[in-house]
Structure 1
Amino acid sequence: MRRRISVLLVEDDEDDFIMTQALLSEIDEPKCDLTWAQSFEEGLSRLVDGSFDVCLLDYALGERTGMELLAQSATAGVEVPIIFLTGQDEHRLDVEATRLGAADYLVKSRIRADLLERSIRYALERARSLSALRLLNRELELTRDQAVRANQAKNDVLTAVSQTCRESLGTIVACNDALEARFAGRDAVAEGYAREVREACRTLERLLTDVLDMSPSASEAPVVQPRSLALAPFIQEVVAAVRPLVGHNDNTLEVSCADDIGAIETDPAHLRRVLLTLLANTCKFARRGRIHLSVTRRSEGGVDGVELAIRASGLWMTPAQLELLFASIPQADAGVAPRGAWTESGISGSRRVCRLLGGELFVETEGARRSVLRVWVPDRWAAGGEHRPS
C-alpha cells in the first residue's frame, strides 16, 4: 500500500481551505492528509519543522504575502516542496515564485483535482531529485575534503623525507670532502671517485631543492620563477641524473645538443622535472632501444623557442597508446590543485607544466616504429602563457 501524503495548506481564508480539502478528497492516489495553517507565522513555523511532504502556499496572507514566506523558508533551509497558489493570473508572480524556489504555480480559479494531483506528484518528484543532488554534493564535498587532507599529509611526508635526505646528503658531502683531501696527490683513482661522488651529490641536491620547491601548501597558486637558463649545461645535468636508469632495460642514450645553443628565460625547476619524468618513463618502457634526446632551436606559431625531443626506437606505440601508458604511472603529487594537479601522471602532468611555461608537449610517432615526445618552450616566458602554440 502506498503511503499517504501529508499536505500543509498555508491559507488565511476558510472558504479556500474547504475548497482545497474537497479537491484533495477527489484524488484517489495518493491519498492526502491535509493540515491547515491560518497565518504567516504558523505556516513558517510548520515549514521549518519539516514534517510535511508538500506545501500549498497562498499569495495573500493578511498583511504579509506568500512571497515573503517563500523567501524566508528558503533562507531557513526548508526543503519541503512548495506549490504557490494565487487568485491572480500574473506572469510576474509566476516568474518571481519560481525564482524563490516554488515547485509550481497554480491559479485558484483554474484548479481541478487532476491538475492539483499532477502538481503535487511533480513537486514530490522534484523534491526527491533535489534531495538526491544535495546528498551527492555532500558526498563530493566530503571526498574533496578527504583528498585535500590526504594530499596535505603526503606533502608533509614528502617535505620531511626530502629534508632528511638533504641532511644525509650533507653528511656524505662532508665525509667525501675529508676523503678527497686525504687522497689529494696520493691516489689518483680514489681522487677520481671522490670527484664523481661530489658531482653526484650536487645533482641530488638540486633535485631535492626542486622537490621542496614543488611542495607548496594547498592554497598556493602555481608559481613560475623564470630566469636565464644556459641550455647546454642544463641538459648535461638532466642526462647525468637519468643516466643510471638507461641501462636497466638494455637501452642506450644519445644526446644531440650544440654547445653554442645559448640560453632561454624559463623556470629551470619545472623544465627539469618535465625532462626527468619523460626520460625516466621512456627508459622504463623501452626495451633494447636507442633513446635519443635532441635539443634544437625552432619556432612554433611564429614564436621563437627551443624543442627538446625524445625519440625511442624501442618504444613502438601509437600516440594514443603512449599517452595511455604514461598516464597509468603515478607521479609524486606534492599537493592539491592547481600545482599538484600537473603531477597526476607522466604525460598529462608534464603537459600542464609545459603549458604553464608557455609551451606545449606533443606526443607523436615518426614513421612506423618510432615514438617521439616533443617539448617546446618559448625563448622567453610570459605571464599567462601567451606564447603557448594553438
Structure 2
Amino acid sequence: MSDAQKRILYVDDDAALGRLVQRRLARHGFAVVHAGDAAAGLEALAGDAFDVVILDHDLGTSTGLDLLPRIREQAPSLPVIYVTASTELAIAVEALKAGAFDYVVKTVGEDFDTLLLSAITQAVEKGILLRLKEKAEREVAEARDHALVLLAEVNHRVSNSLALVSSLIRMQAAASKDPETKAALVTTQARIAAVGDLHRNLYTSDDVRSVDLGAYLTSVLDAVRLSVADTGSAATVSFTPAAVLCRTDKAVSVGMIVTELVTNALKYAYPDGAGEVRVTLAAEPDGIVLTVADDGVGWRGAGPARGSGLGSRIIASMAKTLDSQVDYLDVPAGTCARLQVPAAVLERR
C-alpha cells in the first residue's frame, strides 16, 4: 500500500458505531467519512474520491443490498466491503453476487477490527490494480484508435495516388493512335483502378481488416466500364452482387480476377456489335461462387489467344492466393468463367 492516506466511505445508520470505526481506522492511517443512510452515501460518493466503501447491511429504511447496485453503477471500479450482523451465508453470497469485493460479519471485539482491517487492505490493493488496469486499457484503446486514424489516412492517400496514376494512363490511352497500345493502356488502367478502389473502400470502412466484397466489386466494375468506354466498345456489364465480408488481401485478388475476365470479355466477346457481360457474386454456406459470362463468340470461337498473355498469368496467380482456380464451363454459347472460393480462405490471414 502506498504512503498516501487512503480514504474510506463508511455507510451505516448507527452513528455511534460510525464514530467508533472512524477512530479505530484512523489509528491505522485511514481517513473515514461516515454516511448515515443510502442518500448520504451516494451524495458523498458523488462529491469526493474514495479508495474503499464499507457498506452495512442494515440501513434502517433500506438495506445495503438495495444500495450496492447504485454504488457499482456510480463507481464501477471502487471496492465495496459488505458488513452484516447476520451470520446467514445467503446475505453474504447475495452481496458478493451484486459486486461486493468482500464481506465481514459484524461482531463485538477485536476480531471484527482485525477482519475489517484485513479486508480493507486487500480492497485497497485491488482498487489500485483495477485503476492501473483501466488506465492501461484506455491507453491501448487510444493507441488503437490513433493507429486506425493513421491507417485510414494512409489508405486515403494511396487511393488518391492510384486514382491520379489511373487518370494519367487513361489520358495517355486516349491520346494513343496505335490500337494495341491503347488496349494495353486501358487494361493497365483497369488493373490499377481495382487496387485503388480497394483502398477507397478501406478508408471509408469501420473495419480495415475486411471489406464488403459485393460493394467493392461494384466499384471495380464501374472503373472497368469507364476505362473500356474510351475504346468505343458497345458491350455492357451487369452485376448481381451479394453481401459477403472478405479479408482485404483476398478481396484484391478477387477484384483483379474480375477485372481481367470482364476486360477480356468486353474486348473480344462481341467483335461485331453490342452485347452483355454478366457478373454474378453468390454467397453459399461453404464460400462464394463468382461467374463472368457472355453470349459472344465463345472461348473456342475467339481463335488464338490475343495479347501478351499477362492477363491469364494474373488470373492464375490471383486464383492461387485464393486456393482456387478459374474454370471455364461448357455452355451452349459464349463463355462462362467460374471462380469458387471457400469461406475459410476469405477469412484467413
Q: TM-score, normalised by structure 1?
A: 0.52
Between the aligned partners of 2:133 and 2:18, the Cα distance in structure 1 is: 34
- Match of residue 120 from structure 1: 120
Change (3 A) 1:5 1:210: closer
Between the aligned partners of 2:347 and 2:143, the Cα distance in structure 1 is: 34
- Match of residue 85 from structure 1: 83
Letter aligned with residue 172 of structure 1: Q
**Alpha-carbon shift at residue 35 of structure 1 (Å):** 2.3
Letter aligned with residue 130 of structure 1: L
Between the aligned partners of 1:50 and 1:223, the Cα distance in structure 2 is: 49
Q: SS at 2:323's partner residue?
A: strand
Q: SS at 2:324's partner residue?
A: strand
**Alpha-carbon shift at residue 7 of structure 1 (Å):** 2.3
Change (3 A) 1:376 1:382: closer
Between the aligned partners of 1:224 and 1:143, the Cα distance in structure 2 is: 28
**Alpha-carbon shift at residue 201 of structure 1 (Å):** 4.4
**Alpha-carbon shift at residue 50 of structure 1 (Å):** 3.0
> Does the CA contact (< 8 Å) of 1:50 and 1:80 recur in 2?
no
- Match of residue 11 from structure 1: 12
Q: Could you list the per-position Cα deviations for residues 174-209 of structure 1 after superposition, in whole angstroms to 9, with x for gaps in the alignment?
A: 111xx32xxxxxxxxxxxxx7356425413422322
Change (3 A) 1:3 1:202: closer
Between the aligned partners of 1:97 and 1:381, the Cα distance in structure 2 is: 56
The yes-or-no answer on 1:208 pairing with 2:184 is no
Q: Could you list the per-position Cα deviations for residues 330-379 of structure 1 after superposition, in whole angstroms to 9, with x for gaps in the alignment?
A: xxxxxxxxxxxxxxxxxxxxxxxx9xx9xx96xxxxxxxxxxxxx62277
Change (3 A) 1:219 1:106: same
Q: SS at 2:148's partner residue?
A: helix
How many pairs does the alignment contain?
239
> Does the CA contact (< 8 Å) of 2:8 and 2:31 recur in 1?
yes
**Alpha-carbon shift at residue 119 of structure 1 (Å):** 0.8
Q: SS at 2:107's partner residue?
A: helix
> Does the CA contact (< 8 Å) of 1:81 and 1:103 recur in 2?
yes
The yes-or-no answer on 1:144 pairing with 2:144 is yes
Give 1:236-247 correspondences, 5 Å limit.
none
**What value does the CA root-mean-square deviation take over the aligned residues?**
3.7
- Match of residue 50 from structure 1: 48
Q: SS at 1:55's partner residue?
A: strand
Between the aligned partners of 1:14 and 1:77, the Cα distance in structure 2 is: 24
Q: TM-score, normalised by structure 2?
A: 0.58
Between the aligned partners of 2:213 and 2:76, the Cα distance in structure 1 is: 47
Between the aligned partners of 2:340 and 2:211, the Cα distance in structure 1 is: 14
Farther off after superposition, 205-214 or 51-60 = 205-214
Change (3 A) 1:141 1:37: same
> Does the CA contact (< 8 Å) of 2:9 and 2:50 recur in 1?
yes
- Match of residue 381 from structure 1: 340
Farther off after superposition, 203-212 or 143-152 = 203-212
> Does the CA contact (< 8 Å) of 1:47 and 1:78 recur in 2?
no
**Alpha-carbon shift at residue 5 of structure 1 (Å):** 3.0
Letter aligned with residue 381 of structure 1: Q
Between the aligned partners of 1:388 and 1:97, the Cα distance in structure 2 is: 44
Which residue of 246, 262, 270 maps to 2:253?
270
> Does the CA contact (< 8 Å) of 2:169 and 2:185 recur in 1?
no
Change (3 A) 1:69 1:7: same
Q: SS at 2:78's partner residue?
A: coil
**Alpha-carbon shift at residue 382 of structure 1 (Å):** 5.8
Change (3 A) 1:386 1:195: closer
- Match of residue 317 from structure 1: none
> Does the CA contact (< 8 Å) of 1:6 and 1:34 recur in 2?
yes
Between the aligned partners of 1:130 and 1:91, the Cα distance in structure 2 is: 27
% same residue: 21
Between the aligned partners of 1:116 and 1:100, the Cα distance in structure 2 is: 19
- Match of residue 219 from structure 1: 206
- Match of residue 161 from structure 1: 161
Between the aligned partners of 1:159 and 1:175, the Cα distance in structure 2 is: 24
Q: SS at 2:86's partner residue?
A: coil
Q: SS at 1:215's partner residue?
A: helix
Q: Could you list the per-position Cα deviations for residues 262-294 of structure 1 after superposition, in whole angstroms to 9, with x for gaps in the alignment?
A: xxxx988425769xxxxxxxxxxxxxxxxxxxx
**Alpha-carbon shift at residue 19 of structure 1 (Å):** 4.8
Change (3 A) 1:44 1:272: closer
> Does the CA contact (< 8 Å) of 1:104 and 1:119 recur in 2?
yes
Q: Could you list the per-position Cα deviations for residues 302-347 of structure 1 after superposition, in whole angstroms to 9, with x for gaps in the alignment?
A: xxxxxxxxxxxxxxxxxxxxxxxxxxxxxxxxxxxxxxxxxxxxxx
Change (3 A) 1:154 1:86: same
> Does the CA contact (< 8 Å) of 1:50 and 1:79 recur in 2?
no
Structure 2 spans left out of the alignment, 5+ residues = 218-245, 258-317, 328-338
Change (3 A) 1:89 1:386: farther
> Does the CA contact (< 8 Å) of 1:4 and 1:31 recur in 2?
yes
Structure 1 spans left out of the alignment, 5+ residues = 181-193, 228-265, 275-353, 362-374
Letter aligned with residue 124 of structure 2: L
- Match of residue 195 from structure 1: 180
Letter aligned with residue 122 of structure 2: Y
Between the aligned partners of 1:100 and 1:86, the Cα distance in structure 2 is: 15
